Amino acid sequence: MPELWYWLEEREAYRSDYAKVWNDTATAVDQDTGELNGVVDVILCPVGPGVAPRHDTAKYWSYTSQWNLLDYPAVSFPVDKVDKRLDGKEHRNKFLGQLDWENWQL
């Protein structure tokens, strides 16, 4: 149990440090309310390197792990639909390495 408490404290310290960095993006402070003005409102970023993977096959969890650790709210939404006629897989004989081949398999 002491190890669990240690990691919870580490997580909370990280969250606190991250919140400070986020709030430091403010360009001004409202003198009447103390509210921060000009703070970054939102970060838009991908949830993965390609289309959604089949269940139990995701490899690239690092795209969302930061936000899970911070317990920040998030939403994921499709931006388009795959059309097999238009979005066919290009034929390739050469790959930069194993990871390149695995990404191509997605």
Q: Is the pTM of this model over 0.75?
A: no
Model confidence pLDDT, tens digit, residues 29-64:
999 999 999 999 888 888 887 777 888 888 888 888
Token match 């991908």: residue? Answer: 46
Residue type, 30: D
Compute the average pLDDT of residues 11-19: 96
What's the rounded Cα separation, in Å, for the pair 65 and 96? 26
